[in-house]
Amino acid sequence: MFEMLFDGSLGAGKLTLLFLCLIAACGFEFVNGFHDTANAVATVIYTKSLRPWTSVIWSGFCNFCGVFLGGIGVALSIINLLPVDLLVSSGSNAGLAMVLALLLAAIIWNLGTWYFGIPASSSHTLIGAIIGVGLANSLTAGHQFGDGVNWAKAGEVGLSLLISPLVGFSLSYLLLLLFKAIIKNPKVHQAPEGETPPPLAMRALLILTCTGVSFAHGSNDGQKGVGLIMLILIGVLPASFALNLEQSPKDVEHSIKAVAELQTVLGAHRRTAPLSDMATPGKVNSPTAQELKPPADTVGATTNVAIVQSELAGIAMLLNGKTSLAELPESQRWELRRNILLVDNSFAKMEKEGALQLSAAELATVKSNRKSLRALTDYAPAFVLVMVALSLGLGTMIGWKRIVVTVGEKIGKEHLTYSQGASAELVAMGTIGLAAFSGLPVSTTHVLSSGIAGTMVAQKSGLQLSVVQKIATAWVLTLPACIALAGPLFLLLRSVMQ
């Protein structure tokens, strides 16, 4: 990549566009960092477990580490929400317009809620922007309204975001009651007096949970930036980033074998269809929108199987005789990526719609082979992780106070006790860590803020309803507001960049 940046092959226009997009992506993670710092440090600050700057710097370091060690499962969940036709568009700036629009929309909303001290969800913000781009794309020529959104994946992610506040509230409520039943030391259940830290065991637990939430936040929220930066690099430098060129010969061999096994499964379940509906055998180029649309007088599943077989044949042709992806001519690397994405998307649709009557063993084979193929396209270089980790880590250390004050002082009517802080942070750490492991982008903000509210109710401290109402309103408005921001931004940028 770096050789291309300085040898003049990109051109001034594309080089400027690349830097603008990367700055926007790093800006999103930076804002995300100081917007979400409160989720990790509010409890340790308000229980006097750590001094503010100590906790903020420690949280930033743990966020940094979380990006490196958290994998890329959440990044792939975010990417899979994006319109497939934009992900496979080469030779146009539509994909870059998409990424820029959703980043700008997310940054605008996050900055606005941060300014007013409202702990809103960066996950909701980004997903709303993605849906807005998808809907706007479906308004362009050759599409039907709503077709540009992966509604199944959006529903899956949306459900995790809806459930997480309920989990945060109820589990924190129950955990505080459990602490009260088990821990008889009254100091544990009292608010701090002056600068006195909590009892040693409780202080250790609070610092541990601050560490865990910070790490989990990095491994969950940091991955979103990783996915977006990869889309930018793939769009501007497809020859260098469309495929994981570091794949070993053994990995490439597994991918070739995966194509053959997928062809075998399809061949066993393909039904007879009119010859005119069949895709041309060995066709390498991806089908057009018209080809993908089955004729009204034929069975759609049959046509879909024919098209997927053609795409698989194209992948086999490109990989034939290769021991490394670097052996592929640069002009064919995007083509291979496009066909892999189309095949994977088609299998997902056919499985969901029941177009293939597969046994449990065949389903397992298909799943394993799809994973082998996606290993060629789903990756992130170390320098991308460094960019995101630095942006998120530095952002965590700046601008944190506004939302920390809201979480620590304004949700409940009384000061946070030691056991309340520990209960909310334990639940947040467990929920977010499990979500990152499962590849689901949950809202750190929703889990922690609702957890604090749950402990206030369990403590019978009471809630400041005006503040809770303001937070809830922001949560409800986040999706529609970001849809409304991102859609027009996408159409504007697309028209400017054409």
User: How far is the C-alpha of 86 from the C-alpha of 88, rounded, in Å?
Assistant: 5
List CB contacts of 472: < 8 A, sequence separation 6 or more: none
User: How far is the C-alpha of 89 from the C-alpha of 98, rounded, in Å?
Assistant: 11
Residue 194 backbone phi and psi in degrees, to 5: 65, -130
User: Which of 248, 353, 261 is CA-nearest to residue 304?
Assistant: 353
What is the per-residue pLDDT for 474? 82
List CB contacts of 195: < 8 A, sequence separation 6 or more: 48
User: How far is the C-alpha of 295 from the C-alpha of 273, rounded, in Å?
Assistant: 11
What is the per-residue pLDDT for 175? 93
Burial 324-354 (b: 16+ CB within 10 A, else e): ebeebeeebbbbbbbbbbbbbbbbbebeeee
SS3 412: strand
Length of the chain: 498
> What separation in angstroms does the CA of 233 have from each of 134, 227, 241?
20, 10, 6
- 473-476 LR contacts (CB < 8 Å, sep 24+): 474/113, 474/118, 474/120, 475/120, 475/121, 475/124, 475/165, 475/446
* Domain range annotation of the chain: 14-236+382-497, 247-374
Look up tokens 């509230």; give the residue: 169
What is the per-residue pLDDT for 299? 33
Q: For the chain, how long is the longest CA-to-CA vector?
A: 82
List CB contacts of 64: < 8 A, sequence separation 6 or more: 218, 389, 390, 392, 393
What is the per-residue pLDDT for 486? 93
Mean pLDDT, each 10-residue run in order, the chain (498 residues): 52 78 89 80 89 90 86 70 63 74 91 85 82 84 69 69 83 93 87 84 90 84 83 83 91 92 81 38 40 35 70 91 91 89 85 75 88 90 90 84 82 86 88 72 78 90 84 84 92 84
Sign of CA dihedral 152, 155, 156, 158: positive
Q: Is the pTM of this model over 0.85?
A: no
User: How far is the C-alpha of 291 from the C-alpha of 283, rounded, in Å?
Assistant: 13
